[in-house]
Amino acid sequence: MNVRRQRLRRYLMCRPSHFDVTYAINPWMDPSKPVDPELAVAQWERLCSLYRELGHQVELIDPVPGLPDMVYAANGATVVDGKVLGARFRNAERYAEGPAYLEWFRAHGFTELHAPEHINEGEGDFLVTGSWVLAGRGFRSSPEGHAEAQEFFGRPVISLELTDPRYYHLDTALAVLDTDEVMYHPQAFSPGSRAVLERLFPDAVLAAPQDAAAFGLNAVSDGLHVILPEAATGLADQLRERGFIPKGLDLSELLKGGGSVKCCTLELRASA
Ligand code: ARG
């Protein structure tokens, strides 16, 4: 079995004080279904304290009234080598989150900031491995946004086509487990993108449809622990076999907005 090593991280999160489902921009959202605001906060706090118990540093950005999806901090930016690529959202409902997140970075000592020209939804669609930045397109981030990220970060961006509307962001269909190790749901990708993933990651963990549907791929790994929705039990078993320690959480309220563990977590990679 592989020997796994934890690497301590720094995350940015946003308390779901104003979380609600008032519009539908992905198939998980149904504004007629009530959200329990207290339960949403309690579930989010459990995630936040788990990170801290595991030794990670968690920074907080103030939630803005009128931006119910701001809890999905992963979408707020992409940070690599301390360089911050801001987000530009496809949907008008979320547009104001981009500048709000950029402002947080400006106020917290990050000096290399780029306000994007093209649509990209942050770490919802950009996932960083040791060698590449994997980038999702098809529903939200644009191919031009991928090119803009490659130019800004100076890292190879691998553009992948998502085809199933339930997996509208890359972080709902794929998660980075370690340097160049990933897990993903093959059926969420176009045949060509699937072939690219097979070529880059021949040993990847492949998620079964029911684990993907439980949002199991919306996971955060620190190299040893993998935090994921608790309903993704098959995936948890697969991870255990690989030497990881899966930690299941219930984020049912946040799932009503179409997000879970990873969506609530933006990784701040070095500097500032
Ligand atoms: N309601 C949000 C949207 O559709 C959910 C975002 C989830 N975030 C993520 N990183 N996948 O945009």
Element holding 51 (H helix, E strand): helix 37-53
* pLDDT score, position 144: 98
Report the mean per-residue pLDDT for the chain: 97
Percent of the chain, pLDDT > 70?
99
Phi-psi region of 3 (alpha: psi -120 to 50; beta: other; left: phi over 0): beta
Q: Is the pLDDT of residue 271 over 90?
A: no
pLDDT in tens, 68-79: 999 999 999 999
Q: Is the pLDDT of residue 96 over 70?
A: yes
Question: What residues line ligand 1, using a CB cutoff of 6 Å?
Answer: 25-26, 29, 69, 72, 74-75, 94, 124, 169, 171-172, 257-259, 263
Domain range list for the chain: 10-267
Select from 72, 127, 167, 251 the residue to mutate for testing ligand 1; criterion: most ligand atoms less than 8 Å from CB: 72
pLDDT in tens, 197-254: 999 999 999 999 999 999 999 999 999 999 999 999 999 999 999 999 999 999 999 9
Mean pLDDT, residues 141-146: 98
* pLDDT score, position 140: 98
AA letter at 136 = G
Could you count the other beta carbons within 10 Å of the beta carbon of residue 215?
26
Looking from the CA of residue 262, the nearest atom of ligand 1 is 10
The CATH homologous superfamily for domain 10-267 is L-arginine/glycine Amidinotransferase; Chain A (3.75.10.10)
Pairing of strands 181-184, 205-206: parallel
AA letter at 179 = T
